């Protein structure tokens, strides 16, 4: 029997409308007003408190872009909606009849609202009955999520309000460049430093964030895990371990103490390139601070050992006694707009709504009851994101893909290989509002609404559930992803199970999440609007009960593990999956730039942003540039074992002499990156691979 909540919304309700909404880009989800095509920042959202970055200020330009899609495309030909949906549904039925349910796969995105992510996972498992569903968040936060679950029993990017950062006395940021990726985040670091706090940044490049730091640890790409082990060794050896906290609130310290005894700082210096004196200073800064934080970003996480790397940094935080206190702790600087909520409610291969495991019988029974299906009819775990994409069109792999909110032809590692996999499908259906590189290869393209043209909820990096109001009318012809899923479900015989109204979907999500780790059952649109967001977990208290206040700091008194204690887990450093050699003698690392976001499908269509950063570039050290005979502005070719790409040289002493950097917002960088996977999180090794660099002739763009 479907589960109901104590105060359900009407079955059909009006979509929230108003100018107050949130930015379409990163996981800060900065508050903004959108009115008449103009954007102004909101003061009431703590993440940005009146600030916006260049991307946020210009976000409204895409709403009126001449490149907007407003008519479905069938093999490149404009067609009516019914024709496009009829064709897609017929092909789905035919392929599943011939090859089974798993012949059709679904791929989602970390920018989808909670309602879309939830309904997409439900559509895969109920309407399609396929296990083949995952999302691009696997490429972003999955290593930190796996490590946090292992250590704390729960993954929430920042298990504290972002304003706590300003109350800290020291922060170690490993592998994060927030000054470019989410500039309003810097105001919280600045507040900390204004109080006399110290900032330590670990990064292979002297990024704009590292320039703000009191101490920059310029680590060799792929050696963050060794650095974390060395810092922990020093913390224990020099008396910074909080033995009282460790005894009262953790398990596993003695095993970790033994395991890091071999990681003396001189050994770590040889591996990482970080001087022993700098490591000791970093530990002193953290260990002597009354309140300190350890934060990780993609630079530490996007490795084939990313889970163990984050675990090592969590071990450091736990040894120092940080997690749980106000102004102290460990956190992951989540990247994508709804990277947090997107991984909580069912579009991951191994999860059901509420952060439930799909192989847990009790979880299957609960969610199946909400969905009105037999638990035995729900499929089991499927392939992770890269494995799913790499299986497309191969013997035993999916023959069709439905894709929402992602552009893997640019964003996937070894992207040339993935583009070939997409081309080999019998059916590719893409929902998008512009013709991205992936949409351009699709059999069916369905024009969808944008962030300001629809309502829904997002969960930012703090675990704060926020409300996006509809602030602009969509162009005629565009439909929301919820309407698209309902249209497909109707043609597959499940139309009555897939509402298109976001509030109705959210109330179903509340019921499905009830009792799970990510419990949203006590959250309503009205509460979010009145309180400027509600922190999960927030269970429903039942009729007549006082509303649950939400949980801004879930680790204050205990951790959500069976014994209430956090777990320290021994881990060992291992080399990058692909090290440099004579043929490929330099490290390639990738990342973002200030003006662009993710695959650039949005930002590369906004004039001020393309003027600020018009093309792919290759950053290299002056010593390397001199050896290659390369000057600023020259074209250089970067090669790896997977392909090659060309960019304009930027010569800068801010990068290591053995390393080159390329942004991944254009086709190019991910033609080179290594798809080696973390054994736990299935995260690809985006952040380091072996490469060769050479000067090339003017005008040459591909090898």
Domain match, 133 and 211 both: no
Tell me if 432 sits within 8 A of 448, measured CB to CB.
yes
159 and 84 share one domain: no
> Is 29 within a domain?
yes
- Same domain? For 272 and 307 the reply is yes
- Residue ending a domain, among 518, 535, 552, is 535
Q: Measured between alpha carbons, how far is 32 from 468 in angstroms, rounded to an integer?
A: 10
CATH classification at residue 630? 2.40.40.20
What is the structure's pLDDT at 548?
Answer: 97
Share of the chain above pLDDT 90, in %: 92
Residues 6+ apart with CB under 8 A from 292: 168, 169, 170, 171, 172, 285, 286, 320, 322, 328
700 assigned to some structural domain: no
Using one digit for the tens of pLDDT, what is the confidence trace for 469-484?
Answer: 999 999 999 999 999 9
Q: Tell me how many domains the chain contains.
A: 3
Say if residue 405 is in the same domain as residue 489.
yes
pLDDT > 70 in the chain, percent: 97
Does 207 map to a domain? yes
The answer as to whether 543 is a domain residue is no
- pLDDT, residue 77, reads 97
- Per-residue model confidence as pLDDT tens digits over 632-689: 999 999 999 999 999 999 999 999 999 999 999 998 999 999 999 999 999 999 999 9
Residue 543 has pLDDT above 90, yes or no: no
Is 326 a residue whose pLDDT tops 90?
Answer: no
Q: Per residue in 594-608, pLDDT tens?
A: 999 988 899 999 999
Name the nearest CA neighbour of 547 among 569, 564, 524.
524
242 and 179 within one domain? yes
> Each residue of 191-249: pLDDT tens digit?
999 999 999 999 999 999 999 999 999 999 999 999 999 999 999 999 999 999 999 99
In a domain, 550, yes or no: no
**Do 309 and 368 lie in a common domain?**
no
Q: Tell me: do 514 and 611 sit in the same domain.
A: no
Indicate if 504 and 372 belong to the same structural domain. yes
Do you find a cis peptide bond into 287, omega within 30 degrees of 0?
A: no
pLDDT for 14 equals: 60
Domain of residue 594, residue span? 586-695
Q: What is the mean pLDDT of residues 110-138?
A: 97
The 3-class secondary structure across 423-453, one letter per residue, is HCCCEEEEEECCCCCCHHHCCEEEEECCHHH
Same-domain status, 105 and 28:
yes
Verify that 302 and 362 share a domain, yes or no: no
Residue 672 located in a structural domain? yes
Q: Are residues 290 and 386 located together in one domain of the fold? A: no
* pLDDT tens digits, one per residue of 248-306: 999 999 999 999 999 999 999 999 999 999 999 999 999 999 999 999 999 999 999 99
H runs (alpha helix) in 321-448: 339-342, 361-371, 385-391, 408-411, 415-423
Q: Is residue 1 part of a domain?
A: no
User: How large is the C-alpha radius of gyration of the chain?
Assistant: 24
322 lies in the same domain as 246: yes
C-alpha torsion angle, residues 543, 544, 545, 547 (rounded to 10): 90
pLDDT on residue 141 = 86
* Mean pLDDT calculated for residue range 526-546: 93
pLDDT at 398 over 80: yes
The CATH number assigned to the domain holding 165 equals 3.40.228.10
Mean pLDDT of 490-513: 97
CB 255 within 8 A of CB 204: no
Which of 276, 302, 332 represents a domain boundary (last residue)?
332
pTM of the model: 0.95
Residue 325's pLDDT band, with cuts at 50, 70 and 90, is confident
* Cα–Cα dist 461/47, whole Å: 9
* CATH number for 453: 3.40.50.740
Domain stops at, among 510, 535, 560: 535
Is 9 within a domain? Answer: no
Task: Give per-residue pLDDT as tens, 36-69.
Answer: 889 999 999 999 999 999 999 999 999 999 999 9
């Amino acid at each position: 029997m479907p589960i109901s909540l104590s105060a359900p919304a009407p079955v059909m309700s009006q979509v929230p409308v108003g100018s107050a909404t949130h930015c379409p880009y990163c996981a800060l989800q900065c508050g903004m007003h959108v009115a008449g095509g103009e954007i102004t920042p909101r003061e009431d959202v703590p993440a940005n408190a009146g600030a916006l970055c260049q991307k946020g200020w210009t976000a409204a330009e895409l709403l009126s872009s001449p490149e907007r899609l407003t008519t479905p495309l069938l093999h490149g030909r404009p067609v009516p909606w019914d024709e496009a949906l009829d064709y897609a549904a017929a092909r789905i039925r035919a392929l599943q009849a011939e090859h089974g349910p798993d012949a059709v796969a679904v791929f989602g995105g970390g920018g989808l609202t909670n309602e879309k992510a939830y309904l997409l996972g439900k559509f895969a498992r109920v309407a399609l009955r396929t296990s083949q569903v995952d999302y691009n968040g696997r490429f972003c936060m999955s290593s930190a999520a796996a490590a946090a679950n292992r250590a704390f029993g729960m993954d929430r990017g920042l298990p504290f309000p972002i304003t706590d950062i300003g109350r800290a006395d020291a922060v170690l940021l490993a592998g994060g460049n927030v000054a470019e990726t989410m500039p309003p985040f810097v105001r919280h670091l600045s507040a900390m430093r204004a109080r006399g706090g110290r900032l330590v940044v670990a990064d292979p490049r002297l990024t704009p964030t590292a320039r703000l730091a009191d101490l920059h640890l310029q680590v060799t790409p792929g050696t963050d895990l060794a650095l974390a082990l060395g810092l922990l060794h020093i913390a224990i050896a020099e008396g910074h371990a909080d033995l009282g906290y460790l005894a009262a609130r953790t398990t596993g310290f003695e095993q970790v103490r033994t395991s890091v005894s071999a990681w003396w700082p001189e050994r770590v210096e040889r591996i990482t390139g970080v001087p022993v004196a700098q490591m000791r200073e970093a530990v002193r800064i953290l260990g002597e601070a009354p309140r300190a934080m350890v934060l990780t970003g993609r630079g530490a996480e996007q490795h084939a050992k990313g889970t163990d790397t984050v675990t090592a940094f969590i071990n450091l935080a736990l040894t120092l006694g940080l997690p749980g206190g106000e102004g102290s702790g460990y956190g992951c600087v989540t990247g994508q707009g709804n990277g947090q909520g997107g991984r909580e409610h069912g579009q991951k291969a191994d999860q059901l709504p509420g952060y439930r495991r799909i192989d847990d019988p009790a979880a299957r029974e609960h969610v199946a009851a909400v969905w009105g299906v037999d638990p035995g009819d729900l499929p089991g775990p499927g392939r992770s994101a890269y494995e799913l994409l790499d299986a497309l069109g191969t013997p035993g792999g999916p023959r069709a893909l439905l894709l929402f909110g992602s552009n893997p032809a640019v964003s996937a590692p070894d992207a040339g290989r993935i583009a070939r996999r997409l081309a080999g499908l019998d059916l590719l259906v893409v929902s998008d509002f512009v013709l991205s590189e992936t949409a351009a290869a699709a059999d069916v393209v369905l024009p969808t609404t944008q962030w300001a043209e629809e309502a829904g909820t997002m969960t930012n990096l703090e675990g704060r559930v926020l409300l996006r109001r509809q602030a602009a009318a969509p162009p005629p012809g565009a439909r929301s992803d919820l309407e698209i899923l309902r249209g497909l479900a109707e043609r597959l015989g499940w139309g009555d199970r897939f509402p298109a109204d976001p509030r109705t979907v959210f109330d179903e999500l509340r019921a499905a999440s009830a009792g799970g780790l990510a419990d949203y059952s006590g959250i309503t649109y009205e509460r979010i609007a009145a309180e400027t967001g509600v922190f999960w977990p927030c269970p429903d208290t039942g009729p007549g009960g006082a509303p649950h206040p939400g949980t801004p700091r879930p680790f204050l008194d205990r951790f959500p593990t069976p014994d209430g204690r956090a777990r320290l887990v021994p881990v060992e450093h291992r080399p990058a999956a692909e090290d440099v050699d004579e043929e490929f003698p330099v490290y390639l690392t990738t990342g973002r730039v200030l003006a662009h976001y993710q695959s650039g499908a949005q930002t590369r269509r906004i004039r001020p942003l393309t003027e600020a950063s018009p093309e792919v570039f290759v950053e290299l050290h002056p010593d390397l540039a001199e050896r290659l005979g390369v000057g600023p502005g020259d074209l250089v070719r970067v090669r790896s074992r997977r392909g090659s790409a060309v960019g304009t040289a930027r010569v800068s002493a801010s990068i290591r002499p053995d390393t080159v950097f390329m942004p991944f917002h254009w086709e190019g960088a991910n033609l080179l990156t290594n798809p080696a996977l973390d054994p736990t999180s299935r995260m690809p090794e985006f952040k380091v691979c072996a490469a060769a660099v050479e000067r090339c002739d003017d005008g040459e763009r591909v090898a």
